[in-house]
Amino acid sequence: MTEAVLTGTWFVVRTSLPLWRARDNPSVTYAPLPDGRVVDTVRFTRRGRPGLIVGLDSPLPGGGWAWRGVSLLTSFTVSCWRVLAAGDGWAVTVFERTPFTPAGLDVYARTPELTPEQQREVEAALDGLPAAQPFRAALFSPVHDGR
């Protein structure tokens, strides 16, 4: 998936990441930079308070991205990730472990909830993705207000 396709906001609608059990409304906004990198802004709420994690994604040779945080706490953290599959309004990403998070899988959508058709497409995609299989049993839907 190119930075043009990534551009904009994606809601995390299914995930294996335990972090999202204690945080609500997770979303990621990608904004391409002229040099090919992408600003990666993760937003969420925790106990009603907004949270923010900002990083820079650099393209990797052969595909995928290397995320590096920009805050003092996350600037030494690098996580490699890639898009495994994408369809109309949805994408499946897989990411490596960091000092703060285990390896995992996210299902993104352009809205806080998948449509029934998107749900079928995502399930079919997951069925055919060997890299997704270690995370399937742990997938859950994080809370999104208004859902």
- Quick one: pLDDT at residue 72? 63
pTM of the shown model = 0.91
The least confident of 26-35, 51-60, 103-112, 138-147 is: 138-147
In the chain, what is the straight-line distance between the N-terminal and C-terminal CA atoms, in Å? Answer: 28
Query: With b meaning 16 or more CB within 10 Å and e meaning fewer, what string describes 85-111?
Result: bbeeebbbbbbbeeeeeebbbbbbbee
Each domain of the chain, given as residue ranges in start order, spans 3-138
Average pLDDT, the chain: 91
Condensed to tens digits (0 to 9), the pLDDT of residues 46-91 reads: 999 999 999 999 999 999 999 988 866 666 778 899 999 999 999 9
| CATH code, 3-138 | 2.40.128.20
pLDDT at 75: 67
Confidence of residue 112 (pLDDT cuts 50, 70, 90): very high
